[in-house]
Amino acid sequence: MIATTTSIPSTQPDAFPGQVHTLSGGLTVILHHIPTAAAVTCDVWVRTGARTEPESLSGVSHFLEHMIFKGTEKLGPGVFDRQIEERGGATNAATSQDYTHYYITVANRHFEESLPYLAELVLNAAIPADEFERERLVVLEEIRRSQDSPDRQAIELLCKTMYPTHPYGRPVLGTSESLLAMTPEQMRAYHRERYQPSATTVIIVGGVPETEMLAAVEHSFGNFAPAPGDVTQPRVAAPKAPQPIVLERELPRLEQARLMLAWLGAPFAQIEDAIALEVLGVILSEGRTSRLVRNLREQKGWVRSVSAYYTPQQDAGLFVIAAQAETELLAPVEQEIRVALAEIIHEPVGESELNRALRMLRNDFVFGTESPAQLAGLYGYFNTLSTLDAVLAYPELLRKVTASDIERVARTYLDPDKAVVLRLLPSTN
């Protein structure tokens, strides 16, 4: 049943003890025993999301996430939720551009009897036609609500502008047109094609011994075999940086004007650059003493809020600087942002400023590994977008970030003259 077994390497002894197994069908299994944990999280990650969807099936990954919970031939609608909830457990799922994942958290004593329900649900989705029609209305309502949200509209407009020919430019929810044209048969075929052992990782973290974890995974997922034929994940061309542009839009229900400057950053696999961009975001906008907050909010009082952040993805992610201000202040705020970036590029970041940012990110990382659910999610996220080694190397790579690294990534990715700029204004109608 087990093809290979390896220990999780670590640059910090005993920081993340655990085992990685590959079952004979190609399924990756990550196990981490925490003796003091009273609960265990089982998290199934699949390398499929909006990024790998055909444009004609835009939104199918998210819609499928909904339909997974509608049961299988063995489990009718609602049975899974009832079985987990009766054991005091919690369950949820999420879909992004790069992945879909499903998880349960239960008390240790309920782990062995709960895992088969999760495996059955994810691997054998029936996608019944009547439930498909009912759930389609639910997803269409999600799309409608997203169109009523100014913040959601702003992000979708930004992504469409930044990724004009790449799937990241399409909304994860899909469109009303794509959802209405979709059929149960298309979704079943998509499920068979994409939910393959080689594209799936099962992560178990908690108070159950690893031998029991592995036995339960073998029992529940042992028959998970590749689909007949040569099924491969679609290849997606890397996005190209868009030309600098300034877009101005009026949005209904927007109470105060928004300014967004954006650039394409590094793909997740270039983790050193990705981490340095995260650090740069903290330097610019995390806390009252950060550069943009101190200048634009605390000293000048020009903005209600300002933030800078990098969103790492499998392909080049987005570095965004966003501010909320009165319409007449958008131009001077934009100029101050450009000046701040030029200073980062031409003047080394001070040691105390850099150390503050590194300390904040290091603490966030530590706080994000306190529970089995958090740790399972961290393993799944890093392993799905890159490799498991990346999560283990993160603290050491963070420690090694220097002022010259900050200058380098700012110069490479964040040229002030190459920003895509969105000015979002309250509607005058």
Residues 145, 106: contact at Cβ < 8 Å?
no
d(CA 168, CA 163): 6
Cβ neighbours, 10 Å, residue 322: 23
| pLDDT tens digits in sequence order for the chain, 429 residues long | 555 555 554 433 344 567 999 998 899 999 999 999 999 999 999 999 999 999 999 999 999 999 999 999 999 999 999 999 999 999 999 999 999 999 999 999 999 999 999 999 999 999 999 999 999 999 999 999 998 888 899 999 999 999 999 999 999 999 999 999 999 999 999 999 999 999 999 999 999 999 999 999 999 999 998 877 656 677 889 999 999 999 999 988 899 999 999 999 999 999 999 999 999 999 999 999 999 999 999 999 999 999 999 999 999 999 999 999 999 999 999 999 999 999 999 999 999 999 999 999 999 998 988 899 999 999 999 999 988 888 888 999 999 999 999 999 999 999 999 999 999 999 887
Start-to-end Cα distance in the chain: 65
Residue count of the chain, please give it: 429
**Which residue matches tokens 């509209």?**
153
Cβ neighbours, 10 Å, residue 9: 11
283 φ/ψ angles, rounded to the nearest 5 degrees: -60, -40
Bridge-based pairing state of the strands 2-7 and 100-107 = unpaired
22 φ/ψ angles, rounded to the nearest 5 degrees: -120, 115
Q: What does the pLDDT read at residue 6?
A: 56
Q: What does the pLDDT read at residue 384?
A: 92
Q: What does the pLDDT read at residue 427?
A: 86
Cα–Cα distances in Å, from 145 out to 148, 152, 215? 5, 9, 44
Bridge-based pairing state of the strands 420-426 and 245-251 = parallel
pTM reported for the whole predicted model? 0.92
Q: What does the pLDDT read at residue 10?
A: 42
In whole angstroms, what separates CA 253 from the centre of its chain?
A: 28
Residue type, 125: A
Cα–Cα distances in Å, from 425 out to 88, 251, 329, 330? 47, 6, 12, 10
Please work out, in degrees rounded to the nearest 5, the angle formed at the alpha carbon of residue 194 by the alpha carbons of 189 and 195: 100
d(CA 229, CA 423): 49
If phi > 0 it is left, if psi is from -120 to 50 it is alpha, else beta; for residue 123 that is: alpha
In whole angstroms, what separates CA 347 from the centre of its chain?
A: 33
Ordered structural domains, the chain, with CATH: 2-221 (3.30.830.10), 245-426 (3.30.830.10)
Reduced 3-state DSSP string for the chain:
CEEEEEECCCCCCCCCCCEEEEECCCCEEEEEECCCCCEEEEEEEECCCHHHCCHHHCCHHHHHHHHHCCCCCCCCCCHHHHHHHHCCCEEEEEECCCCEEEEEEEEHHHHHHHHHHHHHHHHCCCCCHHHHHHHHHHHHHHHHHHHHCHHHHHHHHHHHHHCCCCHHHCCCCCCHHHHHHCCHHHHHHHHHHHCCHHHEEEEEEECCCHHHHHHHHHHHHCCCCCCCCCCCCCCCCCCCCCCCEEEEEEECCCCCEEEEEEEECCCCCCHHHHHHHHHHHHHHHCCCCCHHHHHHHHHCCCEEEEEEEEECCCCCCEEEEEEEECHHHHHHHHHHHHHHHHHHHHCCCCHHHHHHHHHHHHHHHHHCCCCHHHHHHHHHHHHHHCCHHHHHHHHHHHHCCCHHHHHHHHHHHCCHHHCEEEEEEECCC
Q: What does the pLDDT read at residue 11?
A: 38
Reading the block at residue 73, the tokens are 């031939």
d(CA 174, CA 50): 8
Q: Which of 282, 340, 332 is nearest to 307 (CA)?
A: 282
